[in-house]
Chain A
Amino acid sequence: MTTEPVKLLREKELKEVMQFDAGSLLGRSMQYPKEIEVRGRISRDLVEEISKSKGEPEWMRLLRLKALETFERLPMPNWLEGVESIDLDEVAAYVRPKAESTNNWEDLPDWMKDVYQKLGLPEAEAKVLSGLTAVFDSENTITKVKEELTKKNVIFVSMDEAVKKYPDLVKEYFGRVFPYADHKFAALHYALWSGGAFVYVPKGAKIVNPVEAFFLIGSELEGQFEHTLLVADEGSFMHFIEGCAAPVLTKFSFHDGMVEIYAKSRSEVHFTTIQNWSGSIVNFNNKRAIAEDYANVEWVEGSIGSRVTFTYPSTVLKGRGASTKNISIGIANGPSKIKDVGSKAIHAAPETRSLIISKSISSGGGVAAYRGLVKVLKGAKGSVSHVQCDSLIMDKDSRAYTLPRNEVDEPTAEVTHEATVGRLGEDQLFYLASRGITEGEAKAMIVNGFIRDVLRNLPLETVSILTKVIELEFSQLGSVG
Chain B
Amino acid sequence: MPIEVQDLRVSVDSKEILKGVSLRVERGEAVVLMGPNGSGKTTLAYALMGHPSYRVVGGRIVMDNTDITQAPTYERALIGLALAFQNPVEVPGVKLDYLLNVINAKKVKGFDLTYVDPKFISWVRREATKLGVSADLLGRDINVNFSGGERKRSEVLQVMALRPKYVIFDEPDSGLDVDGIRIIGGAIASITSEGVGALIITHHAEITKFINPTRAYVLMGGRVVASGGPELVEEVLSRGYEHLQVRGEQ
Contact = CB atoms under 8 A, between A and B. Distances in A.
A275 interface: no
Name which of B52, B92, B103, B158 has the most chain A CB atoms within 10 A of its CB. Answer: B92
Contacts of A432: 91, 94, 99
A448 B141 CA distance: 13
Interface string B74-112: 101110001101001111111100110011001000011
A75 interface: no
A444 B89 contact: no
Interface in B112-170: 112-114, 141, 158, 162
Contact of A467 (B46, B52, B73, B114): B114
B102 A437 contact: yes
A429 to B, nearest CB: 9
Contact of A430 (B52, B82, B141): B52
Contact of B78 (A436, A452, A475): A436
B90 to A, nearest CB: 8
B91 A446 contact: yes
Interface in A322-361: none
B52 A437 contact: no
Of B46, B50, B99, most A-chain CB atoms within 10 Å = B99
Contacts of B94: 432, 445-446, 449
B140 to A, nearest CB: 11
Given A430-B52, A437-B106, A441-B111, A422 B74 contact: no
A449 B49 contact: no
Nearest to B84: A434
Contacts of B74: 433-438
B51 A422 contact: no
Given A422-B93, A448-B113, A450-B93, A436 B85 contact: no
Nearest to B46: A430
A448 B99 CA distance: 12
A422 B46 CA distance: 25
B53 interface: yes
B229 interface: no
Contacts of B53: 426
Contact of B162 (A435, A446, A464): A435
A437 B93 CA distance: 16
A422 B89 CA distance: 14
A447 B72 CA distance: 22
Main secondary structure of the interface of A (DSSP, over half): helix
A372 B48 CA distance: 48
A431 B103 contact: no
Size category of the B interface is 35 or more
Contacts of A441: 102, 111
Nearest to A471: B113
Nearest to B81: A434
Interface string A440-461: 0100111111101000000000
A431 B151 CA distance: 13
Contacts of A445: 93-94, 98-99, 102, 113
B95 A436 contact: no
B73 A433 contact: yes
A435 B112 CA distance: 14
Contacts of B52: 426, 430
A447 B99 CA distance: 13
A431 B89 contact: yes
Interface residues of A, number: 29
Interface string A410-440: 0000000000001001111011111111100
Contacts of A433: 50, 72-74, 77
A431 B85 contact: yes
A157 B25 CA distance: 71
A434 B83 contact: yes
A379 to B, nearest CB: 41
A451 to B, nearest CB: 9
Given A434-B49, A436-B77, A428 B103 contact: no
A428 B113 contact: no
A433 B71 CA distance: 12
A172 interface: no
Interface string B34-69: 000000000000100111110000000000000000
Residue with the highest number of chain B CB atoms closer than 10 Å, among A430, A436, A467, A471: A436
Contacts of B93: 392, 422, 445-450, 452
A433 B113 CA distance: 16
B98 A449 contact: yes
A110 interface: no
Contacts of B78: 436
Given A434-B83, A435-B162, A475-B111, A449 B141 contact: yes
Most central of A422, A432, A446, A475 by chain B CB within 10 Å: A432
B103 A435 contact: yes
User: Could you say which of B46, B73, B82, B106 has the most chain A C-beta atoms within 10 Å of its C-beta?
Assistant: B73
A431 B82 contact: no
7 contacts: A426-B53, A431-B88, A432-B99, A434-B77, A435-B77, A437-B106, A441-B111
Interface of A: 16, 392, 422, 425-428, 430-438, 441, 444-450, 452, 464, 467, 471, 475
Given A434-B76, A438-B74, A445-B113, 5 more contacts: A431-B85, A435-B162, A438-B72, A445-B102, A448-B113
